[in-house]
Structure 1
Amino acid sequence: MSLDYAFPAESRWAELERQTCLDWDLDALTSRQEAIDFLLRFENRLCVYSAFVEKLYSNYSFVVPEEEHGSITILPDERAWHDTFHEIPVDAVLPTGIHILPGEVLGETGLYLKIPGEHRLSPSHELPFQDGLKLLIQRYQARGQQFLPVLAKGDLREYEARMPSLPLHRIDVARLKQHSRLDVENIKGAIAEHLIGLFRQA
């Protein structure tokens, strides 16, 4: 790598580390350590979207502050530029209403998905992660869509005032009109690869 290229790269990564859009605020949670432990289960298991820079990161690490207060920062791997997808518009990343939560909330173990009913008045369902994921894939396929879940900017949320949960967003590839077919396939592949890893872990 030439010095001419290295310097701007270092500058970009220094700027990235300062972006608060890659932080999760943990101070509102009852148990900070529970929040940290829960979040660490997803390191490199779900792609993360930053609306501020319109990028999707598939190779990153969580940086946990040593002090008792402060935010966990998502730090993309500077050696893996090919694992960062650029110019992902905000309107292509949609909320799903789905939350990942620890099974302990329900008196169980492992990961669970809290999935809204298909209709506004339908009750939500709490399902083991694998079962919930299969249901979601089938549900979106029936609509002619693909379920491509990602984490997005936002706070870790408390579930029933005791445990954190993570809201899921999804990539709508129909809104990636400026991307080539190859780019879209790479994005879909990265999300799927991470999801398989999480599926096996859960």
Structure 2
Amino acid sequence: MPTSSAAYAQARWAELQDQDDLDWNLDAISDRSEAIAFLQRFENRLCIYSGYVEKLYSNYSFVVPSEARSGITILPDEQAWHDTFSDIPASAVEPTGIHIMPGETMGQTGLYLKVPGEHRLTASQELPFQQGLRLLIQRYLAKDDFFLPVLVKGDLREYEARMPSLHLHRINLKKLVNCSQLSINSLKSAVADHLIGLFRQGTPGQLAG
């Protein structure tokens, strides 16, 4: 890599380390250790978005400090340029109202999805992860769209009975006006690969570690 390119890359990663868009505060979570354990089940299984640098990361790790009051930092793999997608504007990352929850919130095991109704007056559904994922994929395809879920800062929340849950955002491909078709296809593949991994491991007990 040319010296100028190396210096630019180093400067960009230094800038990334100085911002807090990838630092997740857990002060609002009652059981910090339980929330961290739940979140870690999804490490590299859901892409992470940073609006500060307008990038989507599919290769990263969670850094959990030992201090009791500290949060979690998402550390992208700086060598995995092919797993980092740029020029993703915040306007293209939309909340879905969909939550991933531990089945224990409703006396079950495994992962569950809380899926909002398609219409405002339609009740939401709480479905086993695989069943819910199939429904969402079909729902978006029916609209000539893709279900491309990602996480952003603040998506780790508490659900009923103070159980942790993850709210999902999604990438709206129609708003990626500055991305090439090649980049869009790569992004779709990366998100799909993560979803396939979650789908295969979404049965009870298989996402324990």
Q: Report the TM range for the smaller structure's normalisation.
A: over 0.9
Return closer, same or farther for 1:180/1:155 CA change in 2, 3 Å cut-off.
closer
Q: Number of residue pairs matched?
A: 202
Which aligned pairs between 1:12-161 and structure 2 lie closer than 5 A?
12-161=12-161
Q: Is the 8 A contact 1:48 1:57 kept in 2?
A: yes
Cα distance in 1 for residues equivalent to 2:169 and 2:149: 6
Report the identity percentage.
Answer: 67
Shift of 1:18: 2.6
Over the residues paired in the alignment, what is the CA RMSD in angstroms?
Answer: 1.3
SS at match of 2:21: helix
Shift of 1:42: 0.7
Shift of 1:2: 4.7
Q: Deviations over 1:116-171 (max 9, x none)?
A: 01111111111111000000011111111111111122252110141111110111
Cα distance in 2 for residues equivalent to 1:142 and 1:105: 30
Q: Is the 8 A contact 1:148 1:170 kept in 2?
A: yes
Return closer, same or farther for 1:21/1:161 CA change in 2, 3 Å cut-off.
farther
SS at match of 2:75: strand
User: 2:28 corresponds to which letter in structure 1?
Assistant: A
Shift of 1:199: 1.1
Q: Once structures 1 and 2 are overlaid, which stretch shifts more, 153-162 or 120-129?
A: 153-162
TM-score (norm 2): 0.92
User: 1:130 corresponds to which letter in structure 2?
Assistant: Q
Q: Is the 8 A contact 1:25 1:155 kept in 2?
A: no
* Structure 1 residue ranges (4+ consecutive) displaced by more than 6 angstroms after TM superposition: none
